Structure 1
Amino acid sequence: MAVHGFTLYDMIVRGASLYGDAPAVIQGERTLSFRDYHRRVDALAGGLAGLGIGRGDRVCILAQNDAAYLELYGACARQGIVAYPINWRLTGPEVERVVGRAAPKMFVADASTLGVVAGWPAALPSVGHWYQFGGSAGAGFTPFAALYREDAPAPAVVGPDDAFAAISTAAVDVVPRGAVLTHANVIAANLVAAAGFGLTPADRYLLALPLFHITALGTALAHMHAGGASVVVARYDAEEAVRLIDRHRVTHVSDFPPVLSTLLDAAEKLGSRLPSLRDVAGLDAPATIQRLHESTGATFWTGFGQSETTGFVSLQRVRDRPGAAGRPVAIAGIGLVDDDDREVPVETPGEIVVRGPLVFQGYFGQPDVTARTLRNGWHHTGDVGRLDAGGYLHYIGRKPEKELIKPGGENVYPVEVETVIMQMEGVSGVCVYGVPDVRWGEAVKAVVEVAPAGRYTAQQVADHVGSTIARFKRPHVVVFADALPRTAAGTVDRAAVKTRWGTSPS
Structure 2
Amino acid sequence: MHPGKLLIKTASEVPDKLAVIEDERRVTNKELLTRATVLAARLREQGCGKGCAVVLFLPNSIEFVVSYFAVMLLGGVVAPADVRLAAPELAAFIGATRPGAVLTTAQHKQVANDAAGRLAFDVEVVDVRGLLDGAEGMDSSVDGFEVEGVLPGDDALYLGTSGTTGARHVVVLTYSQLDLFPETMHAVLDTSESEVIGMILPMSHISGPIVCNEAVLRRNPIVLLDVSQPEKAISMIERHKVTWFHGVPAIFQVIFRQAKGQPSRLRSLRFVAMMGTIVPVPVLREFSECAPNTAVLQGYGATETSPLVLLMRTEDARRKIGSVGKPTPRCEVKVVDDGGQELPAGQIGEIVVRGPHVMKGYLNDPKATAEVIKDGWYHTRDAGYFDDEGFFYIVGRKDDMIITGGLNVHPGEVENVLLEHPAVFEAAVFAVPHKLRGVILKAAVVLKSGYRTKEGEILTFCRERLADFKVPRQIEFREALPRTKMGKIDRRSLTAQA
Superposition TM-score tier, normalisation by shorter sequence: 0.7 to 0.9
Write out aligned runs for 1:236-251 (5 A).
236-251=228-243
What residue in structure 2 maps to residue 357 of structure 1?
Answer: 356
Q: How far is 1:21 from its partner?
A: 1.8
Q: How far is 1:223 from its partner?
A: 2.9
User: Deviation string for 1:368-387 (max 9, x for gaps)?
Assistant: 22233222121121212212
Partner of residue 304 from structure 2, selected from 299, 302, 308: 308
Conserved? CA contact 1:168–1:177, under 8 Å: yes
**More deviation, 391-400/6-15:** 6-15
Conserved? CA contact 1:206–1:232, under 8 Å: yes
SS in 2 for 1:258: helix
SS in 2 for 1:262: helix
Write out aligned runs for 1:311-460 (5 A).
311-316=307-312, 317=314, 318-400=317-399
Conserved? CA contact 2:384–2:392, under 8 Å: yes
Partner of residue 156 from structure 1, selected from 148, 160, 163: 148
What residue in structure 2 maps to residue 91 of structure 1?
Answer: 86
Q: 1:252 to 1:127 in 2, by over 3 A?
A: farther
What residue in structure 2 maps to residue 37 of structure 1?
Answer: 32
- The 2-side partners of 1:121 and 1:262 are apart by 36
- Say whether residues 1:192 and 2:192 are aligned partners: no
Partner of residue 255 from structure 1, selected from 247, 250, 273: 247
- The 2-side partners of 1:263 and 1:73 are apart by 27
Q: 1:207 to 1:386 in 2, by over 3 A?
A: same
Counterpart AA for 2:132: A
User: Deviation string for 1:128-157 (max 9, x for gaps)?
Assistant: 3111243xxxxxxxx342596948641112
Q: Tell me, which stretches of 5 or more residues in structure 1 are unaligned? A: 1-5, 135-142, 407-430, 441-458, 482-506
SS in 2 for 1:87: coil
Conserved? CA contact 1:186–1:358, under 8 Å: no
Counterpart AA for 1:370: T
Q: Tell me, which stretches of 5 or more residues in structure 2 are unaligned? A: 403-409, 413-438, 449-477
What residue in structure 2 maps to residue 223 of structure 1?
Answer: 215
Q: 1:172 to 1:327 in 2, by over 3 A?
A: closer
- The 2-side partners of 1:256 and 1:286 are apart by 15
Counterpart AA for 1:209: L
- The 1-side partners of 2:44 and 2:134 are apart by 10
- The 1-side partners of 2:239 and 2:497 are apart by 50
Counterpart AA for 1:28: D
Q: 1:51 to 1:397 in 2, by over 3 A?
A: same
Conserved? CA contact 1:47–1:152, under 8 Å: no
Q: How far is 1:173 from its partner?
A: 5.7
Q: 1:67 to 1:105 in 2, by over 3 A?
A: same
Q: How far is 1:122 from its partner?
A: 4.8
What residue in structure 2 maps to residue 267 of structure 1?
Answer: 259
What residue in structure 2 maps to residue 103 of structure 1?
Answer: 98
Q: How far is 1:323 from its partner?
A: 2.2
- The 1-side partners of 2:350 and 2:272 are apart by 27
What residue in structure 2 maps to residue 114 of structure 1?
Answer: 109
- Say whether residues 1:299 and 2:295 are aligned partners: yes
- The 1-side partners of 2:307 and 2:443 are apart by 25
Partner of residue 145 from structure 1, selected from 98, 121, 132: 132
Conserved? CA contact 2:51–2:77, under 8 Å: yes
What residue in structure 2 maps to residue 484 of structure 1?
Answer: none
Matched residues, number: 423
Conserved? CA contact 2:226–2:233, under 8 Å: no
**More deviation, 30-39/284-293:** 284-293
- The 1-side partners of 2:30 and 2:377 are apart by 40
- Say whether residues 1:178 and 2:170 are aligned partners: yes
TM-score, reference length from structure 2: 0.75
Q: 1:229 to 1:479 in 2, by over 3 A?
A: closer
SS in 2 for 1:273: helix
User: Deviation string for 1:414-457 (max 9, x for gaps)?
Assistant: xxxxxxxxxxxxxxxxx9999676699xxxxxxxxxxxxxxxxx
- Say whether residues 1:74 and 2:69 are aligned partners: yes
What residue in structure 2 maps to residue 210 of structure 1?
Answer: 202
User: Deviation string for 1:434-483 (max 9, x for gaps)?
Assistant: 9676699xxxxxxxxxxxxxxxxxx9xx99x99xxx999697647877xx
Q: 1:285 to 1:473 in 2, by over 3 A?
A: closer
- The 2-side partners of 1:215 and 1:83 are apart by 13
SS in 1 for 2:162: coil
What residue in structure 2 maps to residue 19 of structure 1?
Answer: 14
- The 2-side partners of 1:366 and 1:373 are apart by 12
Counterpart AA for 1:380: H
TM-score, reference length from structure 1: 0.74
- The 1-side partners of 2:10 and 2:258 are apart by 34
Counterpart AA for 2:235: R
SS in 1 for 2:153: coil
- The 1-side partners of 2:301 and 2:273 are apart by 12
- The 2-side partners of 1:285 and 1:438 are apart by 15
Counterpart AA for 1:43: V
- The 1-side partners of 2:216 and 2:25 are apart by 17
Counterpart AA for 1:178: V
Conserved? CA contact 1:159–1:183, under 8 Å: yes
Conserved? CA contact 2:95–2:119, under 8 Å: no
The alignment-based identity, stated in percent, is 25
User: Deviation string for 1:149-183 (max 9, x for gaps)?
Assistant: 94864111212221111121115565521111112
- The 1-side partners of 2:442 and 2:306 are apart by 25
SS in 1 for 2:132: helix
User: Deviation string for 1:23-62 (max 9, x for gaps)?
Assistant: 1211222322222222222221111111111222221222
